Structure 1
Amino acid sequence: MVALLGAKGRKQRRKGGVVIRTLFVDAGGVLYNNINEETDFLAQVARRYGRDEAETTRHAMASARVYESGRKHVHQVFQQLVGGLPWTGRGILDTRWLDRMYMARVRAYEDNFRVLREVREEQPDLTFVLTNNEAEHWDRLKDEAHGHFGMFDLLCSSWRIRRVKPAGAFFTEALRRARANAEETLLVDDRLPVLRAGAALGLQTLHVSTPDVLADRLGPLLRGRARPAPVR
């Protein structure tokens, strides 16, 4: 649990360590599990439509940036993945089934939700920014179920930025929209390539290698009792 911070705590944070004024927080791997990587979601899609599981997974991963960037709706991308032929009526994607399968595999990390809400209440001067890669449609479905949008001052999901992490342009645009300085921004993410890209631009980083890391490390970093570890 994050300890309460009063004036003394804020003073200590300014005197020692890195002053953090903005948090860039990922969703998949930090607030939720990673569906494509950690569940059988893509395998179930392949089985339903008679596709090879390995090939479907490979194509889905390669196509993720298309729907994450908002260039195409995620349903359009998955329609192409299953190889449906709409004019024949065969293999047409059942979008309701797809969404049910996706949401059934979503797991919210309630402890991390609680930690972020506590930090918001205790440190109202911090700007909270959502910086995740996700399809707009599925991002909104998860918000309807678990309410993660409401924890943030600004939504800079990939579908809003029109860029996908770890592109440098993603972070540049997110910093511009948040009116934030890189050196005063803490990037919280589970992926090392993303953290390396952020660090290259001067962002501070917190690697959430497992969900429990957020509760253990976020408080000390914000209180100035620990420095962000270099990303290797």
Structure 2
Amino acid sequence: MIRNLIFDLGDVIIPIDLTAPIRNFAIMADVSEEEVRALWKQHDFINHYETGLIDDSAFRVHVRQLLKNDAWADEVIDTAWNTVLLDLPVERIERIKELKKEYRLFLLSNTSPIHIRRVNQVLAGMGQPTLEELFERVFYSYDVQLAKPSPAIYNHVLAEVGINAEETAFFDDNAANITAAKALGIQAVHVQPPKTILDYLQDM
């Protein structure tokens, strides 16, 4: 019997476009998208940011240095970084609120503080609860300094909230994350377009 539901955030709750920040930074810096992508990969600072090894300020410093523009204000960088986030379908939030009556709900996301602040701003603008209010517990990669698909992050969540893997369903759009969760006995569900999370929650 499933008693617990763990949700990924990007492309599960909120649609995302992973190419948008690269595209916007390339336009701002007047360089090619390929150059920006290569710099991201070479310096790996985004992974460091999302696992809490560097903070917001250090992240912005890296962006300014790599793209050679010290004049960009924090807000300019944050806005470009947040273009990854697309419109949030309110019906997904409403469905999650309904599920709270029957299940323990958790959020597990590889993400950054800038993104989480923006998602919560969007939710507030919609008259909806924040992520921290919507779920019993939220687990952000930058807080726990672990990231999916490492088995350690799943074990951390299970231990922290005292739940059993076999009684837990996990919804994620990334195949590697699904494989890792299944290996631990979690009932992992791969959310794939054209279906949305609502399709996978119909029978719950």
The answer to whether TM tops 0.5 is yes
Q: Which residue of 1 aligns with 2:159?
A: 176
What is the Cα deviation at residue 219 of structure 1?
3.4
Q: Which residue of 1 aligns with 2:98?
A: 118
Pairs aligned (count): 195
**Is structure 2 residue 75 aligned with structure 1 residue 96?**
yes
What is the Cα deviation at residue 211 of structure 1?
7.0
Cα-to-partner distance string for 1:183-212 (whole Å, 9 max, x where unaligned): 111111011100001001111011111374
**Is structure 2 residue 138 aligned with structure 1 residue 155?**
yes
* Range moving further from structure 2, 205-214 or 144-153: 205-214
Contact kept? 2:131, 2:138, Cα under 8 Å: no
2:114 corresponds to which of 133, 137, 146? 137
Q: Which residue of 1 aligns with 2:49?
A: 67
Distance 1:116 1:202 in 2: 23
Match of 1:83, SS state, is: helix
Cα distance change on mapping 1:33 and 1:181 into 2, 3 Å: same
2:4 corresponds to which of 22, 37, 62? 22
Match of 1:23, SS state, is: strand
Q: Which runs of 5+ in 2 are unaligned?
A: 124-129
The Cα RMSD (Å) is: 2.3
Q: Which residue of 2 aligns with 1:227?
A: none
- Segments of 4+ in structure 1 off by > 4 A? none
Contact kept? 1:185, 1:203, Cα under 8 Å: yes
Larger Rg: 1
Cα distance change on mapping 1:210 and 1:30 into 2, 3 Å: same
Cα distance change on mapping 1:173 and 1:105 into 2, 3 Å: closer
2:61 corresponds to which of 68, 79, 83? 79
1:194 corresponds to which of 164, 177, 180? 177
Distance 1:78 1:33 in 2: 24
What is the Cα deviation at residue 48 of structure 1?
1.3
Cα distance change on mapping 1:113 and 1:58 into 2, 3 Å: farther
Percent identity, aligned pairs only? Answer: 22
Cα-to-partner distance string for 1:108-144 (whole Å, 9 max, x where unaligned): 13222121111113x1xx2111101110232122112
Contact kept? 2:174, 2:190, Cα under 8 Å: yes
Match of 2:155, SS state, is: helix
Cα distance change on mapping 1:216 and 1:84 into 2, 3 Å: closer
Distance 1:75 1:29 in 2: 26
Q: Which runs of 5+ in 1 are unaligned?
A: 1-18, 223-232
